[in-house]
Structure 1
Amino acid sequence: MRINLTSVFVDDQEKAARFYTDILGFVTKHDVPMGTDRWLTVVSPEAPDGTELLLEPSGHPAVKPYKDALVADGIPATSFAVDDVRAEFARLRGLGVRFTQEPADMGPVTTAVLDDTCGNLIQIAQYQ
């Protein structure tokens, strides 16, 4: 068994698609119209057949309070692995990304947390 799909709830799929591809560097895997929403997934360009991230619409009534509570408590919705957190932090900050946590060493991992502009906090992590 392996994970092939995971998701983050996004307030605006088009805005999310731009952020996750143009800023974070993922590539679109699937973009299928489904009524007013889309089946919209992105993948790492380093693993185009790897785990897909579904940019899932936030339409369900339970989503907003859930996302608001996570953000209020500073809890990331998910975590992405990077080779160098400090370099990625500098690159993203240079592109205007807002961070809620600057790079911090936490034992065997260095993390930073960013705002994805779509209602989520996202952690980037480098494992030593």
Structure 2
Amino acid sequence: MALQGQRFAFTKILVGDVEAEVGFYSAVLGLVTRHRLPAGEGEEVILCAEGHEEPSLVLLHRPHQARPEPGEAVLGFVVDDVEQVVRAAEGAGGVVRVAPRVVPQAGVTVAQVEDPDGHLVELLQRQ
């Protein structure tokens, strides 16, 4: 039984190059920085969708902490144009892992890219 007001709120990932990551998610998905907060020896950067105050993605930078292996988590984003977002990802230092492909039984086009730190990002466009 879910309690009123409880819901999934955001995803937090550990990153190495926080500025490259902020630039990537801004250029590729239009996320904007809402807050930069100290976090021990590092910082947290809270990114939100344009026009929203609630966090979508939090980048945690701790310079002396090892990052998890890329692929440990997959970040999923619904986008208007997968092809355009894939091109933006390449231009922002990302790598295409799976080129856009139509999945007719699901009514979507999907692609996967890696951000500059190697985190896997799945892009989904509804048909």
TM over 0.5: yes
Q: Distance in 2 between matches of 1:92 and 1:32?
A: 26
Q: Distance in 2 between matches of 1:37 and 1:126?
A: 35
* Poorly superposed stretches of 4+, deviation over 6 Å: none
Letter matched to residue 3 of structure 1: F
**Any conservation in 2 of the 1:10–1:119 contact (CA below 8 Å)?**
no
Letter matched to residue 38 of structure 1: E
Instruction: Give the equivalent residue in structure 2 for 1:120.
Output: 119
Aligned residues: 119
Which of 78, 82, 89 lines up with 2:75 in the alignment?
78
Q: 1:21 to 1:60 in 2, by over 3 A?
A: same
SS in 2 for 1:14: helix
Which of 32, 38, 45 lines up with 1:33 in the alignment?
38
Q: Distance in 1 between matches of 2:124 and 2:99?
A: 11
Structure 2: 5+ residue stretches without partners: 1-5
TM-score by length of 2: 0.75
Q: Distance in 1 between matches of 2:83 and 2:77?
A: 14
Percent identity, aligned pairs only?
A: 27
Larger Rg belongs to? 2
Pick the structure with more helix per residue. 1
Q: CA RMSD for the aligned pairs?
A: 2.5
